[in-house]
């Protein structure tokens, strides 16, 4: 597995969650 891909996925998920929380 490519660590960079995993980190990107985690960051993307985290950003989405933060955006949703801020939006609410």
pLDDT digits (tens, 9 = 90+) for 1-24: 689 999 999 999 999 999 999 998
Tokens of 8: 């990107």
Could you give the CA distance from residue 9 to residue 4 in angstroms, rounded to a whole number?
9
The pLDDT value given to residue 1: 63
Could you give the CA distance from residue 24 to residue 6 in angstroms, rounded to a whole number?
27
3-class secondary structure, 3: helix
């Amino acid at each position: 597995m490519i660590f960079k891909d995993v980190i990107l996925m985690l960051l993307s998920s985290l950003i989405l969650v933060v955006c949703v929380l801020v939006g609410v």
